[in-house]
Amino acid sequence: MTKLPNGVILDKDGKPCRLCTSAASWRALTKQAKSQTAAGTAPAATPSNASASAPSPSPMQTQCPPDVEELGRSTWTFLHSLTAAYPAKASPEQQSEMRSFLSMFSRLYPCWVCAEDFRTWMAEPSGRNAPRLSGRADFGTWMCEAHNEVNRKLGKKEFDCRFWEERWRTGWKDGRCD
């Protein structure tokens, strides 16, 4: 079996997971598959290759399925926006609905590795990572902490959670969002 390029995550079916793999790693996988095909060896687990005689795509056709990075950015934008729209003081029903949403989200997220990490983080035995849903301020800080946990794992800079509301709800005080 051929070794896969670094960063390629296999789906539960053993095939490369496009939604769990960065675009750079996916390109490396595709390049590897093409070189193996050209050399007459069958690639192990590869995405289907486009025909060499295919016409050049129009600008609308160049939109591709998201990689793990694009999916992550879009998801965090959605989750932080959801947090910003959460009530200042949530009713028991609103808290229950959000708890259900987060539970389902952590099971249905397209990148299964990411979903599993989020689920594990929320279920940390001490309870310190359980969603804090009493109101917008607590929920916003909790979401920022969840995002920072992912940033740490990825070696990215952490965001100062004191400013989550300016970033995601009200806009920066310097007026750049006005």
What's residue 57's pLDDT?
58
What distance in Å separates the CA atoms of residue 122 and residue 103, rounded to the nearest whole number?
A: 9
What's residue 21's pLDDT?
81
What's residue 102's pLDDT?
98
SS3 labels along 78-111: HHHHHHHCCCCCCCHHHHHHHHHHHHHHHHHCCC
| Regions in the chain scoring below 50 on pLDDT | 43, 45-54
Q: For residue range 100-135, what is the model confidence (pLDDT) as tens digits?
A: 999 999 999 999 999 999 999 999 999 999 999 999
What's residue 150's pLDDT?
96
Instruction: Measure the CA angle with vertex 121, ends 125 and 67; round to 5°.
Output: 165
What's residue 55's pLDDT?
55
Block residue for tokens 């675009």: 23
Give 74's contacts (C-beta < 8 A, 6+ positions apart): 66
What's residue 146's pLDDT?
98
Block residue for tokens 């990075």: 69
What distance in Å separates the CA atoms of residue 1 and residue 39, rounded to the nearest whole number?
A: 15
- What amino acid occupies position 135? G
What distance in Å separates the CA atoms of residue 146 and residue 151, rounded to the nearest whole number?
A: 9
The answer to whether residues 21 and 65 touch, using CB atoms and an 8 Å cutoff, is no
If we measure between CA atoms, which residue out of 68, 31, 63, 22 comes closest to residue 50? 31
